[in-house]
Each structure stands twice: as structure tokens, then as C-alpha cells.
Amino acid sequence: MKVSLFITCLVDQFFPQIGISTMKILRKLGVEVEFDSRQTCCGQPAFNTGYAEEARQVARHFLEVYGDSDHIVVPSGSCSTMIKVFFPKLFAEDSSQRSLAEEVGQRTFELSEFLSSVLEVESTGARFPEVVTYHDSCHLLRELGISSQPRQLIRAVEAIDFREMDHCDRCCGFGGAFSVKFSDISAAMGEDKVGWIQSSGARYVISSDVGCLMHIRGLLERQQSPVQTMHLAELLAKFED
Amino acid sequence: MIKISANVQSALADETLQGNLRRALVDTPHPRDEAVSEVPNWEELRRYARDVKAHTLSRLPEYLQSLEEKVLEQGGKVIWAETGQEAVQFILDLSHRRGVREVVKGKSMLSEEIHLNRALERAQIKPVETDLGEYVIQLAGEKPSHLVAPALHKSRKEIADLFVQKLGMAPTGDVLEIIATARKLLRHHFLTARMGITGVNFAVAETGTIVIVENEGNVGLSVSVPEIHIALMGIEKVIPRSRDLAVFLKLLIRSATGQKMTSYVNCLNGPRRSDELDGPQEFYLILIDNGRSKILADDYMRQSLSCIRCGACLDVCPVYQTIGGHAYGSTYQGPLGAMLTPLLTSVGEAPEHAFASSLCGACHEVCPVGIPIPQILLKLRERFQSERNQKAASLSLEKLAMQGWARVMCSPILYARLGRWARMLHTVLGKSGMGRLPIPLFSRWMKHRDLPALPPRSFRELYSSSQEAS
């Protein structure tokens, strides 16, 4: 099987390790992985702040790059949602772009969904003898309805001690532009989240969205907490090469 | 202009408020959850209700006319008020004609929306809120912070202290004693007030029935003891048929309080008839527009008028849970307020409301009529930006930045180059240096959080060198 990776702009520029982990997992499972260097961003920053025209330009670029791909795998819940749910809405008045967006959306999968539902993988063979908890990112959970897949994959990691935190499905407060427009509210929500992460007893908080993780990690570091953040792909790639 | 940002700091610093919000909304499971899980066809009912609302809104003038006819047939009167001011003026004029000096009120958010109490007081007419939560709020000289639980921001102790201070009650921690005190005082007002003013939960077009749900019996008294009953109704509250009522009551009540049914469901059909023992001598239904037909005329935004004011979206909203209702600075708060405030006024009048959301979607998930609030907020953001940039003589800095960003994102070469420069800059300046750059994006982020340590090379750089190596 051949997969086109959409690594997302944040992972590409700021967290390449997550991209490398994603690639490592897919290759181990016998998938042929392709990285098209014309890829950039899904357009979310513009879309979420009300700049629909700018978002459309970036979405058009995405559709040009990925128009012919069989499977598009994305290690991010919110970017997958942008493509699958919001691209068709952006092109509500442009029927040919809309149908292209819908088709591409059907071929786009968030990583855990792709592993569980398409490849039907139960375990990636990772081993991680640590206490971890999982933060549901909002778009992945509520727009795409994905909550059991990442958990099944985490539980299958060898020697892992997985503990649910209270309010695992409450927003961490990141919200893209919200985190800077309403920085104080965002941080207060994040501090609630950090509190629940810490009470779970976990040393690592796992999530499928880099935005949430960047926000949570920024708060944890400010508090000099020993708890670390980890993207789901990084966890699932913890196997011997 | 209403600015939420001006109220955030004080809401976050108010430890009592923070404790009250947390206790009421975060630490205790909401009774709604269980009440909803008991209804196996909840999703089906939600869809049904949404369809009924969409249908009704698509033919609103027809249904309102039929409602008017039925109310008139039953001996009531109907007043059409285009603005809140017109509704208020009608009430003031009628009060003067009838010599009314005191009014008992059932809880009504619409009455808050049209600032009725203030107008009554100015005209030397005493409004007495008879819902316990509203009574507390009125004693405190505040505004409701939640549309179902107006005094949600107050603790039991704060309320007890208020009763001691304002009513001379002996200090007590006993809730029942507080309630008994209010009850005794309110009883007197029900007997002396000559006018009762309430809101409306639903109005049935085919029968002219006005439906008001409540738990305290205060609405029942307000609509039956005084000579005059005035019901304030937003034009979107009409439903076509009695048979739809069962569904809407189930959705509303379970979502609002988690009850199977409220203690009372008042179904009112006009004033007292000659063979009836109680009820008002005069009944007036005021149909209030106050910005609603403007929303109705907008094909996309129209769905926001389906709201049945259950308050579930406030209860689950992490932003509301964090800042409470007053910080919104508007009559309607939480996700519903973020959506309705700019729609009822304008995006210029409430420029921050649509942005005061992390778009987490918890509101849409619980909404009993399935209003996609986050998507409506996104649409409002879009309108705000396009209005702002149309009005401005030159484009805003943010718009220019966004245009530049889009150009970069459409050009893989520019994108890769800029990413490299950003990472280089980060290497040179370090984390704290980045925060000192005169870029609000960084400084606002770094007020509460560290910046991530940026890697020397991007994924694409690592990928292409690994390709070359192999």
C-alpha cells in the first residue's frame, strides 16, 4: 500500500521527530510512504480567524498537491478535520473544488484512525515502561469521533501503564488563535488540564495534536513539572529498528 | 461596544467566583448527562426538534399569525413589538392606564434583553423578581450570569450574607431557612401586585397556548393572582402543534436541569373566562422582534433562532466554566451568547464574542436542537474580518499579515526558506529573546507558556538528506 504523508507545517518546522516517528511506524507496517515536498499547511490559521479567502488559497494548494493520492495520512486531529470537514465548507460555492475536496477528504486519515481502521493494526510493537495518560484533542474527538483508536494502540504498547485522567475530553485551551487572542483564558483552561494530568499520576501525556501538546508543554515547563508531553506517533514508534 | 477582554482578568482573579464555577460546573457531574442517557431515542428527538424548528422558521409569519388569531379568539391581546423599546413602552403605558405600581415577574431572559426592570423603576413602578435565583440577583443589584441559574456565580454563603444584609434575616447556613424567608416575602407581593410579567418557553400556533416551565410555583402565581398577565415572547418561540410540545419539553427540561419534568408546566390559554375560578382578567402576549427578523432573513444564521434556551451549552463550555457569565458583558452568555450577541446587535458592537471560544465543540455536542455553534462562530469571525477590512481605509495589519502568510503557504520554496530563517532566529535569540521581539503573537504566548525548543533542521530537510543518503 502506498501512502502520502501530510506531515503538517508545525511538525515539519518545529517537531520533525514526530514526522520521523510517523514514517518509521508506517514503514514497519509495510506501507510505502511518500513525502511530497510541495506540501505546506492546511490553512487552519486563516480559517479559524475568519480569513476564509486566504484559507481557500492554501486549501487549493493542498488539493493540487494531494489531488491524486490514494491514502493521505496526517499525524494531527485538527489538520485532518480541516481537510475532511472544513475544506468542503470552504468551497460551498464552488462545486468542482467542493467535490474534489470531498473526495480527498474521504482518502484522508488521521494516523491512529489509519492504523486501526485501515491497516487494522492492533499493536505497533512499541515498548514503553512508563505511566502515561491521553488527552483527547477536540477536533479529533468531536468532529471525527475518534477516541477508542488511539487508546487501543496505547494500551497495546508493551509494559505501558495507561491511566485515564479526569476530564480527559475537556479542551486544553489551545484553540489556535484563541491561545493568543484570549491568552489568559487559554492558559487558565490549560492549567486545569495540567492539574488533571498531574493527578492521574502519569509521567507522560500523550495526544494526537501538536497544537495541544505545544500549549500543554509550554505550561508544564513554566511550572517546571517533571511531566512530559509526547505525540502519539512518538510513543507508537518506540520499537527497535 | 462590548469587550470581553476587559473583564477577563478580574473574573480570573476572583477566587470566590472561581470556586463557585468549579463547584457548580466542573467538579460535579452535570445531572443532564444521566437524564439524557435515559432516553434511548435522544438523537432521534434532537433531529426531530431541529427539523420542526427549521420548518417553523421557514414559515414564521404564518405561524405567528395563527398564534395571534388563537390568542385573540381566547380573549387575549397580541402586541407586535419591533424593538425592545416598543415592548417596554407598551408595558409602561398600560401600567399607567391601570394604575399599576408593582409588578411580579417570572424569570425571563427576554425581559433582561429589553432592560425592562430599569425602565419600570425609572417610571416608579416596582418590579419584583419572584424566581428565587432572580430574586437573589435583584437583591444584589446584579444581572443574571446564567440563563437557567441566574445566581450560579454565587455561593450559598454569599446568598445567606445578602439576605442578612438586605432583608435583616438572622444569620444562617440553612438553605431551607433562606428559601422560607424569600417565600414569605414574595407571598405578600403576589397578593399586592396587580400585574404579572413572564417569559414564554413555547407558544403553540394551532391552539394559542403559552407554555412556561418552572420549579418554584412562582410563575403559576404570577400568571393567576394579579389582574393582568403580560407574556414576553421572542418571535422564534412559536411551535406549530401541541404534539410537538412533548418532544420540546423533554429536550428542554432534561438538558436544562436534568429533571424528567419540571415541578410545574404552565399551559395558559388567555384570560379568565366567566366560568373559571382563577386567572388574570387581562392577558397580553407581546411578540418581540428586537433583531430577530434580521437573523431570520440570513439563510445561514437563521438556525441560531432554533435555540430553546436550555443553557446546556453554558454548562459544558470550558470558557464559560473559566470566566463565568458576567465577563461576557452581554445578556446572553457562554456559547449561546457568543453566537447571539453579535447577531442580535452587530459584529461591530460585539467584536470579541465570536472569538471568545476555543471551538472545542462541547456546545454543539449537547445542544438539544443540534445548533452547530462553533461553525456559526467561524462564520461570524469571517463576517467580522470582512466588515473590518471593508470599512478600513487601508487593510488592517492582521489582514496584510494573513495575505502574506497565504502567499508563503502557497509557495513551497518561500515556506521552506521562511521556516529555516525562523529556526535560525530562534537559535540566535534563544527562547527568551524570541519573547522580547515586538510581535504580539510571541509575547502573548510567552506570558503563560514557554516556546518550544526549535530543532536545527525541519522534517523536509531531514527527509531529503536521508533520501540522498539512500
The per-residue pLDDT for range B374-386, each reduced to its tens digit, is 999 999 999 999 9
Question: Which pLDDT score, from 0 to 100, does residue B433 have?
Answer: 81
Cβ–Cβ under 8 Å, residues B218 and B106: yes
Contact A217 B447 (CB under 8 A): no
Look-up of cell digits 462564520: B379
Per-residue confidence at B427, pLDDT binned at 50, 70, 90? confident
- CA dist A151 and A140 (Å) reads 13
Name the grid cell of B259.
429533571
Mean pLDDT along residues B341-357: 96
Cβ–Cβ under 8 Å, residues A45 and A176: yes
Which of these, B347, B340, B298, B353, lies nearest to B113 by C-alpha position? B340
Residue of B388, B448, B462 to mutate for A, most A C-beta atoms under 10 A: B448
pTM of the full structure: 0.96
The amino acid at A207: S
Cβ–Cβ under 8 Å, residues B339 and B373: yes
Q: Which of B381, B447, B452 is opposite residue A50, by nearest beta carbon?
A: B381
Contact A185 B319 (CB under 8 A): yes
- At how many degrees (to 10) do helices B412-436 and B397-409 cross? 130
Mean pLDDT along residues B296-315: 98
B172 or B236: whose pLDDT is higher?
B236
- CA dist A78 and B386 (Å) reads 25
Q: Min CA distance, A198 vs chain B (Å)?
A: 16
- A 26-45 residues inside an 8 A Cβ radius of B: 35, 37-41, 43, 45
Q: Which of B26, B318, B398 is opposite residue A171, by nearest beta carbon?
A: B318
Handedness of CA B190, B193, B198, B204 (dihedral sign): positive
A168 or B169: whose pLDDT is higher?
A168
Which of these, B349, B391, B356, lies nearest to B377 by C-alpha position? B356
Q: pLDDT tens, B242-273? A: 999 999 999 999 999 999 999 999 999 999 99
Contact A179 B362 (CB under 8 A): no
Share of chain B above pLDDT 70, in %: 99
B355 neighbourhood in chain A, CB within 8 Å: 49, 177-178, 181-182
Side-chain-side CA neighbours of residue B427 (13 Å): 10
Count CB atoms within 10 A of the CB of residue B401.
15
Q: Min CA distance, A69 vs chain B (Å)?
A: 18
Question: Which pLDDT score, from 0 to 100, does residue B390 have?
Answer: 84
Q: pLDDT tens, A145-159? A: 999 999 999 999 999
Per-residue confidence at B138, pLDDT binned at 50, 70, 90? very high
Q: Min CA distance, B201 vs chain A (Å)?
A: 29
Look at residue A174 and tell me whether its pLDDT is greater than 80.
yes
